[in-house]
Amino acid sequence: MAILHGEELELNLALGDKVNFALSQLSLATPYRPDKALSLRSSLAGKVRILIEDRAQVEAIMALRPDFKLVQNQGYGTGTKFNLFIAVFGVIVAIVWSFETVLPHALATVAPLSWRVQAGASEEMDFASLGHICQNTSADLAMAKLVGVLATGDAEMPNVSVHIYDLSFVNAFALPGGLIIVSHKLIEQAERPEELAGVLAHEIGHVVHADPETQMIRRFTLNLISDPFGSSHSGGTIAMMEQFRQSRAAEEAADDYARQTMVAAGVDPIGLRDFFSRILKRERGGQSNNGGLAQLGSMFSTHPGTETRMAKIAPLPDGKKPKQVLDEADWQALRKSCN
Residues found near Zn ion in the complex (CB under 5 A): 246, 251, 254, 303
DSSP, res 25: G
Q: How far is the CB of 205 from Zn ion (least distance, A)?
A: 7
> Measured from the CB atom, is 214 or 246 closer to Zn ion?
246
Q: How far is the CB of 246 from Zn ion (least distance, A)?
A: 5
> Measured from the CB atom, is 65 or 303 closer to Zn ion?
303
DSSP, res 336: T
> Measured from the CB atom, is 26 or 299 closer to Zn ion?
299
Tell which residue, 49, 55, 53, has the closest CA to residue 75. 49
Q: How far is the CB of 168 from Zn ion (least distance, A)?
A: 20
> Measured from the CB atom, is 10 or 252 closer to Zn ion?
252
For residues 180-199, b (16+ Cβ closer than 10 Å) or e, as one string? bbbbbbbbebbeebbbbbbb
Give just the sign of the alpha carbon dihedral 327, 328, 330, 331. Answer: positive
Q: How far is the CB of 180 from Zn ion (least distance, A)?
A: 11
Strand arrangement, sheet containing 26-28? 26-28, 38-42, 49-52
> Measured from the CB atom, is 195 or 251 closer to Zn ion?
251
The secondary element (H helix, E strand) that includes residue 50 is strand 49-52
Q: How far is the CB of 211 from Zn ion (least distance, A)?
A: 8
- Please name the residues in contact with 204: beta carbons below 8 A apart, sequence gap of 6 or more: 147, 150, 154, 157, 160, 174, 180, 257, 258, 261
Please state, in angstroms and rounded to a whole number, the distance separating the CA atoms of residues 202 and 108.
19
